[in-house]
Amino acid sequence: MSTAPTSQQTQRKLYIESYGCAMNFSDSEIIASIMNEHGFVNTNDELDADVIFLNTCAIRDNAEQRIRERLKHLRNNKKSNNDLIIGVLGCMAERLKSKLLEEEKLVDVVAGPDSYRELPKLVAEVDEGGRAINVLLSREETYGDLNPVRLNSNGISAFVSIMRGCDNMCSFCVVPFTRGRERSRDPQSIINEVLELQKQGFKEITLLGQNVNSYLWFGGGPKKEFKSLTPEEQASSVDFADLLELVANAVPLMRIRYSTSHPRDITEKVVLTMAKHNNICNYIHLPAQSGNTRVLEAMSRNYSREWYMDKITMIKNIIPDCGISCDIIAGFCTETEEEHQDTLSLIQWCEFDFSYMYKYSERPNTPAAKKFTDDVPEDIKSRRLQEIIAVQHKMSQEKNARYIGKTVKVLIEGNSKKSDNDWVGRNDQNVVVVFPKETYQKGDLVEVLIERSTTTSIIGKAIGMTEL
């Protein structure tokens, strides 16, 4: 239930800045919804804001350093507006808890990912002259009943969060500590949100979670409690393939994407569901992290190189033209030169369309930090990362060149960054496509004949409107 805004709150302006993964950008839309319900209005101008929230990421050290730098700059905002309230939300807030208030005197509010409903109350505490913190993690919270307010939206594609938290405990990863136990959102509330997006004119949704293939609805609560249900209760649960099917049928004219998949959990049932529905895009983001089985074991990823390759084969057997992308970590603890070579060869074997590639960054208190020494020297990590990037770029170039002379279906998302005369969108496989606008409009689904390619995009000419 919303609390009636006071006359003072009605005027107050909120500026939210999001960092990190899509999940955080999606959370900011939940935060805006909660704050708007309590009388705050959104602004895109930080200098005009009464409240500034930084929705932060903690996945690598440099993500946190970026926030520290940003806070230094915000000192000026506070100097020119004494009443300005600054909040640090999200994963960095959850990781550092009250330490953040001790270390960053500028910060008034610290709130973790499960305490966003408390934000108006936390701001009110600051109004009373204090500083406020809530970093409690929840077993049930999914914010499923809220109507996210679309921020910085292109009006065409939107994120829909389907689950929260992660139970996987990959040894390098801070997420299970910052986002808590895995829990899934009621499928009916997901469908309602998707139908609402369709009504607002959106054409594409991305279902979001840290490990969407692990989605399981059985009435709510932590996933680990599924085991204690009766066989009948278990049989009536909704898994990710069921959810995909429900969403695909609910909005047959919308494009559906999802992210992220864990290789351990992606099933044939999910891929067959994708193949069955024209409106589910043929694209899977399937982070491998490493191409070497011993390193994968040290990472606690629970699959081997061969298991991963078998999953790629399974996907390509069912959907031969499926786009596949990857996340790779260079220089994880104890990684040898030969093991690094296995990562390079995996990229080539899998022919990833693109990858997000990172140097390993040790995160305090994670299993890897406790168990291993971060023993790959920085210069070697950097060199390995450069080699990974070079192989992936060559692969992306080759894959994009294969589109030349072919037609692809593109949903127009907006102006191309380089020219207002061109549209930009993505094809089914999530490759960026650029082409002259002519008479086409944002939101149109068009057939584009590809004439040229680069490492990051394919370029062509529209030849007509098309259907999913």
Residues binding ligand SAM (CB under 6 A):
21, 59-60, 172-173, 175, 210-211, 260, 262, 287, 289, 327, 329, 358, 360-361, 363
DSSP three-state, residue 45: coil
60 binds, among ligand SAM, ligand SF4, none (CB under 5 to 8 A by kind): ligand SAM
- Residue 163 to residue 215: CA distance in whole angstroms: 7
From the list ligand SF4, ligand SAM, none, partner contacted by residue 305 (C-beta under 5 to 8 A by kind): none
**Binding-site member from 57, 166, 280, 286 for ligand SF4 (CB under 6 A):** 166
Q: Please report how close the Cβ of residue 33 comes to ligand SAM at its closest, in angstroms.
A: 23
Q: Which does 176 bind (CB under 5 to 8 A by kind): ligand SF4, ligand SAM, none?
A: ligand SF4
Taking CB under 6 A as the rule, does residue 333 contact ligand SF4? no
Q: Edge-to-edge strand order for the sheet containing 85-90? A: 41-42, 13-18, 51-56, 85-90, 109-111, 132-134
Tell me whether residue 170 or residue 433 sits nearer to ligand SF4 (CB atom): 170
> Which residue, 289 or 429, has its beta carbon nearer to ligand SAM?
289
Residues 154-190: b if buried by 16+ CB within 10 A, e if exposed = bebbbbbbbbbbbebebbbbbbbbbbbbbbbbbbebb
How many angstroms separate the CA atoms of 174 and 134, rounded?
19
Task: Please say whether the beta carbons of 116 and 137 come within 8 A.
Answer: no
Helix orientation angle between 305-318 and 337-350, rounded to the nearest 10 degrees? 10
Decide: 254 and 198 in contact? Cβ < 8 Å.
yes
Give, to the nearest 10 degrees, the angle between helix 240-250 and helix 187-199: 30
Which value, in Å, is the radius of gyration of the alpha carbons in the chain?
A: 23
Segment 79 to 98, residues that bind ligand SF4, using CB under 6 A: none
In the complex, the smallest distance separating the C-beta of residue 379 from ligand SF4, rounded to whole angstroms, is 26
Q: How far is the CB of 417 from ligand SAM (least distance, A)?
A: 24
Residue 175 found at the interface with ligand SF4 (CB under 6 A): yes
Q: Considering only residues 210, 261, 396, 429, which one is a binding residue for ligand SF4 as defined by CB under 6 A?
A: 210
The only residue of 168, 343, 396, 429 in contact with ligand SF4, by rule CB under 6 A: 168
Q: Which is nearer to ligand SF4, 223 or 426 (CB)?
A: 223
Min CB(398)–ligand SF4 separation in Å: 28
**Displacement of CA 264 from its chain's centroid (Å):** 19
Q: Toward ligand SAM, which CB reaches closer, 361 or 407?
A: 361
Judged by CB under 6 A, how many residues of this single chain contact ligand SF4? Answer: 10
What CA dihedral angle connects 70, 368, 301 and 382, to 10 degrees? 60
Q: Which residues of 69-97 are buried (b: 16+ CB within 10 A; e: fewer)?
A: eebeebeebbeeeeebbbbbbbbbbbbbe
Task: Identify what 329 binds: ligand SF4, ligand SAM, none; CB under 5 to 8 Å per kind.
Answer: ligand SAM
Least distance (Å) from ligand SF4 to the CB of residue 410? 30
Task: Using the minimum distance from each CB to ligand SF4, give the nearer residue, 38 or 285.
Answer: 285
How far, CA to CA in Å, does 245 sit from each of 170, 199, 250, 323?
Answer: 29, 20, 8, 20
- Choose one: 111-119, 165-173, 246-254, 360-368; the region binding ligand SF4 (CB under 6 A): 165-173
Residues near ligand SF4 (CB under 6 A) are 166, 168-170, 173, 175-176, 210-211, 262
